[in-house]
Copies of this chain bind each other. A is one copy, B any other.
């Protein structure tokens, strides 16, 4: 396992870092094509603009629409990159992902199914078609650290886990952001000319909304958590918190609808104050905001009868539920 040393926000000289990483990418991929997967998150957005700075049209950027994305996410992200002169190909892979996730409830098995579907099936096909031998990926320092510590298996951390992607999947993974945590990556994105909507957005997990569904991931359950996520993001964006999310529980609880018993769904809201995702505290949201969230989630998301707010620090809880 390669040793990685963190470069903090204070240490980061964006100009030098961009020059060095650009040169490294050119040296590593002197000819031919590389691919990268853009999810719309800060890390993959920054790696996309950095990769294009280095490799230009030799970097092919794909947006894998797994069916697990947020509302309107694929076209919106493609549009933002079009503004930057970077073409993004949207790949519809709903069926691959939902088939792979069918019947799985264990979080590690779900992550593994997503990793396998993402890197092997969908990317395998794209790499084969494109002839690319390199994948440029937005792995960050927190991913490296948590994977090494065994806290969480990041789907984008194959090399750190000792998986030889060259022989396993036919391509090599390049991770130019792996020395940086989120604040440094945001600063880098700003320096690279990324729109604020992209470099300042809250973190979003690699497995997307699948990380926000406890139990089996089905199109119906993703659609519920997508609606809940849309409400939570629109209500909590003004807080400028580090991250905010909605989780669909598998547990159901008793509620009342039209005066009768309704055994319904529960949504958990989390909203984090954090510098770097390493530690965090629940944002002290005003009760007016909490009650409006509960009202909207129970009236606008079909079947939801109960809403909770997570009040635990990280550690012992993690930012995401799975």
Contact = CB atoms under 8 A, between A and B. Distances in A.
Contact of A107 (B107, B263, B305): B263
Interface in A253-296: 253-257, 259-264, 268-269, 281-282, 284, 287, 290-291, 293-295
Given A151-B259, A254-B322, A306-B321, 6 more contacts: A150-B261, A254-B317, A269-B311, A282-B287, A291-B311, A306-B312
Contact of A305 (B252, B309, B316): B316
A322 B263 CA distance: 8
Contacts of A262: 316
Given A214-B251, A215-B251, A263-B107, A151 B256 contact: yes
Contacts of A130: none
A114 interface: no
When all copies of this chain in the complex are counted, the total is 2
B294 A313 contact: yes
A149 interface: yes
A276 to B, nearest CB: 15
A250 B251 contact: yes
A109 B259 CA distance: 22
Contacts of A230: none
Contacts of A281: 291
A310 interface: yes
A70 interface: no
Contact of A318 (B151, B251, B255, B295): B255
Nearest to A293: B311
A124 to B, nearest CB: 28
A280 to B, nearest CB: 11
B307 A254 contact: no
Name which of A268, A282, A294, A312 has the most chain B CB atoms within 10 A of its CB: A312
Given A251-B249, A305-B317, A306-B317, A151 B322 contact: no
Given A253-B322, A312-B307, A259 B149 contact: yes
Contacts of A259: 149, 151
